[in-house]
Amino acid sequence: MTRNKALIASFISAILLVNMGFRTAPAPSQTRQIIDNMVAAIAKHQGVTFIMDATERIVGKPNENNQIEMFAKVNVNPLKIYGKVLKDPNKGTQLLYVTGKHDNKIRVKSGWLPALSLLPTSGLLTKNQHHTLLTSGFIIVNKIVADGIKRADTRNAFETVFKYVGDVVYKNRNCYKVVIDDPTYAYTTAVGQKGETVIALARRLLVSEYHIMDLNPSSRSLDDDVSGKTIRVPSSYAKKTILYIDKETNFPLYQEMSDERGIYEKYEYSNLVVNPAFNDKDFSEDIF
């Protein structure tokens, strides 16, 4: 009997050791799954159409905001963008960018005036705005979130930084509400690389162009050269971010970014269509 008990105990121990050796990794949390699904959905999409309402704090004027409503069509690769402003003061203005066309400038048509070709960073297009037309869509926000995941993971702090806090109905769409709090958010400095502009520095560091321009009065234009300059910058894109992520498409229909003074950017999307069937006329001047 004793020998049988010993054999049984050895058998059970062997099974436990085998199971321990092949133990599966713990399942990702719901928050992690929501964020991973969003990153994956945006990474693989080929194009979108949407209406965007943007509210952005004006550089140098912390108590004033600029607002714009625009219909947009975006083809991801090669990058093609068509936009039409839907509200005054520039209601009806149309913008068209096609990689490799018109010296990579944006074609602009307003009213009865002939179309113009302008650089994406032209002050006529970006006055009081944080970004250029070329950032339309969801690629940039995806890069910023992916960078936040990477930085949180290096500190084993994903569940502290990213939090799914419940569901919301936004513009008749069922969404997950995710709050991203960056406990390391601070202000630091960076040195501009050779030939680097404000917008290029922002893209390299994945921080907002707004903050670079607001923190550095000598660099108040997106195409200002910052080569060799010591520039004050935030350590990440936002101190706090709120996303409403559509349960069906996994795209963030509501994006709210805050710093220590409150909300400085808010982007609201409606009528979103993912991977529409574009044709050549969608990004032709025939549309003007």
pLDDT of 140 reads: 95
Mean pLDDT of 101-107: 96
**Structure token digits, residue 187:** 């202000």
d(CA 95, CA 108): 5
The residues, any chain, with a CB within 8 Å of residue 271's CB and separated by 6 or more, are 49, 50, 51
Residues in CB range of 208: below 8 A, 6 or more apart? 130, 202, 234, 237, 238, 257, 264, 265
- The pLDDT of residue 1 is 46
Domain regions of the chain by residue span: 30-159+262-287
Look over the chain and give the mean of its residue pLDDT values, rounded to a whole number: 91
Measured distance CA(55)–CA(254) in Å, rounded:
12
Asked if the model's pLDDT at residue 184 lies above 70, the reply is yes
Neighbours of 123 (CB within 10 A): 14
Q: For residue range 223-240, list pLDDT tens digits in order.
A: 999 999 999 999 999 999
Maximum CA pair distance of the chain?
Answer: 101
Mean of pLDDT values over 258-275? 98
Please check the confidence at residue 178 and state whether its pLDDT lies above 70: yes
CA-based nearest residue to 33, from 151, 140, 143, 162 = 162
Q: Which residue has the tokens 């995710």?
A: 178
Contact 139, 42 (CB under 8 A): yes
Contact 41, 33 (CB under 8 A): no
- 236-273: b or e for each residue (b if 16 or more CB lie within 10 Å)? bbbbbbbbbbbeebbbbbbbbbbbeeebbbbbbbeebe
Residue 260 pLDDT more than 60? yes
pLDDT in the model for residue 27: 67
Return d(Cα 153, Cα 157) in angstroms, integer.
6
pLDDT band at 208 (very low <50, low <70, confident <90, very high): very high
Q: What is the pLDDT of residue 280?
A: 86
- What is the model's pLDDT at position 279? 93
At 269 the pLDDT is 98
Average pLDDT for residues 92-111, to the nearest whole number?
Answer: 96
Report the distance separating Cα 66 and Cα 262, nearest Å. 15
Question: In this predicted model, what pLDDT tens digit does every residue of 24-47 receive, in sequence order?
Answer: 445 679 999 999 999 999 999 999
Residue range 129-146, pLDDT digits in tens: 999 999 999 999 999 999
Say whether pLDDT at 156 is over 80.
yes
- Please, are residues 14 and 8 in contact by the beta-carbon 8 Å criterion? no
**Structure-model confidence comparison of residues 16 and 214, the more confident one:** 214
| 217 touches 171 (CB < 8 A) | no
Helices then strands, each counted (H, E), the chain:
7, 13
DSSP conformation letters of 145-194: HHHHHHHHHHTT-HHHHEEEEEEEEETTEEEEEEEEE-TT--EEEEEBPT
Coil, strand or helix: which one is 112? coil
What's the Cα-to-Cα distance from 273 to each of 30, 48, 86, 278, rounded to whole Å? 25, 5, 18, 11
Amino acid at 195: G
Looking at residue 26, its pLDDT comes to 52
C-alpha closest to that of 55 among 267, 270, 271? 267
Quick one: pLDDT band at residue 10, thresholds 50, 70, 90? very low
Q: What is the pTM of this model?
A: 0.88
CATH for 30-159+262-287? Answer: 2.50.20
